[in-house]
Structure 1
Amino acid sequence: MPNITTALASPEVWDDIQHALSGGGDGRSCQCVWPVLTNKEWETTDLDQRTALFQQEVASDRPPGIVAYVDGEPAGWIRIGPRPAQRRLARTRNIIATTREPLDDDEVWGVSCFVVRKEHRGHGLNAVLLEAAIRFAREAGARVIEGYPIDTGKTNVRVNDLFHGALSTFLAAGFTEVPGPKPERPLVSLEVA
């Protein structure tokens, strides 16, 4: 059984985060800044600009996520943080229509991205990342955590589109599904305070 550990994002693990993001999918090109940029901002940035933005975020007072290691090798990433800091979330119609929480409440945190390197997929790494994210959010004063997963039982999805996470992962961690207009894209919620 592999040894899985996690660490909060910080400048000290920057290279590890980059390794985790570069193992397949869109992580390397996105630099996990898609949730914090508007569409217009996203379209006018290149990889170098996204990397610089993400590096600034990682060096800030509030880590934007957690990196996971399998036997010491960087293997995965999860973005979690206050929902207002992830500006795209408050501009997403499905979230606006479904959430029960004020869009500007800093005590509502969002899980907006998972990345797992190809060689580590299918081994429950997202579940470990989510548990670490719940602990981090609770310790940092979150009241509620939301997720925006895909219900893989209701739609076929490309692996690259699973960066939102699978509904089953969130439900197994104790989240409750909140009905909304898109059955294949539910919102999930967990009270942590």
Structure 2
Amino acid sequence: MNQVSIQKLTPDMAEQYVAYFDNRAFSDGNEQKGCYCVWHHWTEQKEDERSAMPEVERPFCKRNYAYELVKNGKLNGFVAVSDGEIVGFCNADLKENYFRHSRDNDPESWDGIELDSKILTIVCYIVAPDMRGMGIADSLLEYACHYAEDNGFDYIEGYPSDGTFDAKNCGGTDSMYIKRGFQIIKTGDRIIARKRICESD
């Protein structure tokens, strides 16, 4: 197997990103195919626009939106690359940049967080079916932790799957977070894994 490297997703990778979701991310026929990992940015307005499109154009709506977001630096995260191709993706960004996780739309998840805190939030991991079970999601989380420490974040948090970690429950496992010192917080039917990043002396 070729070596897997982890790096930040950059705007010039927009074509590679959508190609990964087109061809490899769900090559096992998983029902999530076509998500392009845009749900956390998906607004009611975008859904209305999609519904108003001719039916034949709707399947391309999320693809085009993902391309636009990556190209404009608004869909961020980290990619696992092997032999020049993306084989895994971790959707991670400043928490307030996610429509679904804004203070207005997800106030419960902000409990205990200071108003001016900078939070790196991980919302999803998508690893190519033929590359699963090799620790790629774990490596993506490790990279994200170092990125948060090196870039002035106050917290890093994720949303581990409550049950099987798979393409539908794509938040990773709680054990991934626990072994790195994250606190596991249960709020209703959701789990938040959160870690305060220590300030340098």
Letter in 2 for 1:118: P
Answer yes or no: is the 8 Å Cα contact 1:10–1:63 preserved in 2. Answer: no
- Residue 194 of structure 2 aligns with which residue? 189
Answer yes or no: is the 8 Å Cα contact 2:6–2:81 preserved in 1. Answer: yes
For the aligned residue pairs, the C-alpha RMSD in angstroms reads 2.8
> What do the CA deviations read for 1:55-93 (whole angstroms, capped 9, x no partner)?
23222356611110235432100111111111112434x
Pairs within 5 Å for 1:31-180: 31-39=36-44, 41-42=46-47, 44-45=49-50, 46-61=58-73, 64-90=76-102, 91-92=105-106, 96=108, 99-101=111-113, 105=116, 107-152=118-163, 157=164, 159-180=166-187
- Aligned CA distance change for structure 1 residues 125 and 158 (closer, same or farther; 3 Å): closer
TM-score normalised to structure 2 length:
0.76
Structure 1 stretch displaced more, 118-127 or 33-42: 33-42
- Which structure has greater helix proportion? 1
> Runs of 5+ in structure 2 lacking a partner?
51-57
TM-aligned CA deviation for residue 181 of structure 1: 2.5
Answer yes or no: is the 8 Å Cα contact 1:17–1:74 preserved in 2. Answer: yes
User: Whole-Å Cα distance in 1 between the matches of residues 81 and 67 of structure 2?
Assistant: 20
> Runs of 5+ in structure 1 lacking a partner?
none
- Residue 25 of structure 2 aligns with which residue? 23
Answer yes or no: is the 8 Å Cα contact 1:77–1:116 preserved in 2. Answer: yes
Letter in 1 for 2:135: G
TM-aligned CA deviation for residue 111 of structure 1: 0.5
Answer yes or no: is the 8 Å Cα contact 1:18–1:28 preserved in 2. Answer: no
- Residue 55 of structure 2 aligns with which residue? none
Structure 1 stretch displaced more, 139-148 or 34-43: 34-43
- Identity, % of aligned positions: 21
- Residue 8 of structure 1 aligns with which residue? 8
TM-aligned CA deviation for residue 54 of structure 1: 2.2
What secondary structure is seen at the aligned counterpart in 1 of 2:195?
A: strand
